[in-house]
Amino acid sequence: MAGGRGALIVLEGMDRAGKSTQSRRLVQALQAAGHRADLLRFPERSTEIGRLIGAYLQRERELDDHAVHLLFAANRWEHVTSMKEKLRQGITLVVDRYAFSGVAFTSAKENFCLEWCKQADAGLPKPDLILFLQLSPEEAAARGNFGSERYENSPFQEKVLQSFRHLMKEKTLNWKTMDASKSIEDLHNEIKTVAEKTMQEVKDKPLGELWK
């Protein structure tokens, strides 16, 4: 199509790194600059699958670790048709967490290997850019105590970080590490610059498939 497709831009990173803050800011800034852009987040807790995930995270419900991993992935798959359609229409999607959180969190549990974890998300739309918001555990803790949701404790977060480091070694993916200890404004300006560059670069390129 004339204007080209939208870009798929994912924000990942440790808890409290500012993913939600920066995703919102980026979409607002892109729209203000005249681009078409939408915000997505995973888990998307508004669907039936998402409500089940929400209850699990809030410890209102117990689920087998394999089952919950597949639910997180299913929650992404149930959005794929609409994601592809928006991208095709030229709408850039800014996504607050994606399959990388899915794999990093489950593979941080005992007896889960990275390869098994990746299978459920293989074939999803491949991000054109993955921004990893890097923040030390000390700086993250200074942003407020961990809440009561599942996974919000330091030893587990350390394992999650190791899993993210493995995933970031994959050279077929466009990872960019950002220093999330910067001010909200400074980080936003850097993110906006790389996002706009990516949007320009991919508009005439086909959308890829993740881990395929």
Is the bond into 43 cis (omega within 30 degrees of 0)? yes
Q: Which does 47 bind (CB under 5 to 8 A by kind): ligand T5A, Na ion, none?
A: none
| Residue among 90, 103, 130, 110 nearest 7 (CA) | 90
Whole-angstrom distance, CA of residue 80 vs CA of residue 75: 9
Q: Binder to ligand T5A among 184, 193, 197, 201 (CB under 6 A)?
A: 184
Pick between residue 28 and residue 116 the one whose CB is nearest to Na ion. Answer: 28
The answer to the question of residue 20 lying near ligand T5A (CB under 6 A) is yes
- Phi, psi (degrees; rounded to nearest 5) at 175: -85, 140
Q: Which does 121 bind (CB under 5 to 8 A by kind): Na ion, ligand T5A, none?
A: none
The answer to the question of residue 19 lying near ligand T5A (CB under 6 A) is yes
The answer to the question of residue 21 lying near Na ion (CB under 5 A) is no
Residues 12/102, Cβ–Cβ less than 8 Å: no
Whole-angstrom distance, CA of residue 202 vs CA of residue 129: 10
Pick between residue 20 and residue 31 the one whose CB is nearest to Na ion. Answer: 20
The answer to the question of residue 176 lying near ligand T5A (CB under 6 A) is no
| Residue among 35, 33, 34, 28 nearest 7 (CA) | 35
Residue matched to tokens 């920066």 = 22
The answer to the question of residue 20 lying near Na ion (CB under 5 A) is yes
Whole-angstrom distance, CA of residue 1 vs CA of residue 20: 31
Pick between residue 73 and residue 199 the one whose CB is nearest to ligand T5A. Answer: 73
Q: Which amino acid is residue 168, in one-letter code?
A: M
Question: Shortest approach of Na ion to residue 38 CB, angstroms?
Answer: 17
Question: Shortest approach of ligand T5A to residue 11 CB, angstroms?
Answer: 8
- Residues near ligand T5A, by CB under 6 A: 13, 15-21, 42-43, 57, 72, 97, 101-102, 105, 143-144, 151, 183-184, 187
